[in-house]
């Protein structure tokens, strides 16, 4: 596994643990279909939340949160629709969150969580 992928995988594990500690239930991790991949799908009470995790070794131009542009947002919305079609028992309101994880040192990370980062 290359360093970039390893850092991304570590970030996704940290994000999942962070959300579980805040009472959320992980429904899916790294869900793939021909259209792409969703990092995390979680349940926050009655809401299905699609979480994009961005991990970086350094703070660039405001950090990893600012790397989710309009194209990525549209793609995530399309992927969320596909996930919901394949999991019809998980209905209800939805939202899109972004978690940015920046590695500050070997053992220290900064976690930024933006709830409802963009419209459903």
According to DSSP, the residues that pair with 107 across neighbouring strands are none
d(CA 59, CA 108): 13
Give the pLDDT of residue 26: 97
Query: pTM of the prediction?
Result: 0.91
Number of domains making up the chain: 1
In this structure, what CATH number is given to the domain that contains residue 75?
3.40.1350.10
Give the pLDDT of residue 56: 82
27: containing domain: 3-118
pLDDT in tens, 67-92: 788 999 999 999 999 999 999 988 88
**H-helix or E-strand spanning residue 94:** strand 94-103
Walk along the chain (120 residues) in steps of 10 and give the mean pLDDT of each run.
81 94 96 96 96 83 74 95 94 92 84 85
């Amino acid at each position: 596994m290359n360093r970039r992928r390893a850092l991304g995988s570590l970030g996704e594990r940290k994000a999942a643990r962070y959300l579980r500690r805040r009472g959320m239930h992980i429904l899916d991790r790294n869900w793939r279909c021909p259209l792409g991949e969703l990092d995390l799908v979680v349940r926050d009470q009655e809401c299905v939340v699609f979480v994009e995790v961005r991990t970086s070794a350094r703070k660039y131009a405001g950090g990893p949160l600012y790397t989710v542009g309009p194209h990525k947002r549209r793609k995530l919305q399309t992927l969320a629709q596909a996930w919901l079609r394949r999991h019809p028992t998980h209905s209800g309101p939805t939202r899109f969150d972004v978690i940015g994880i920046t590695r500050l040192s070997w053992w220290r990370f900064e976690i930024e969580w933006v709830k409802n980062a963009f419209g459903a």
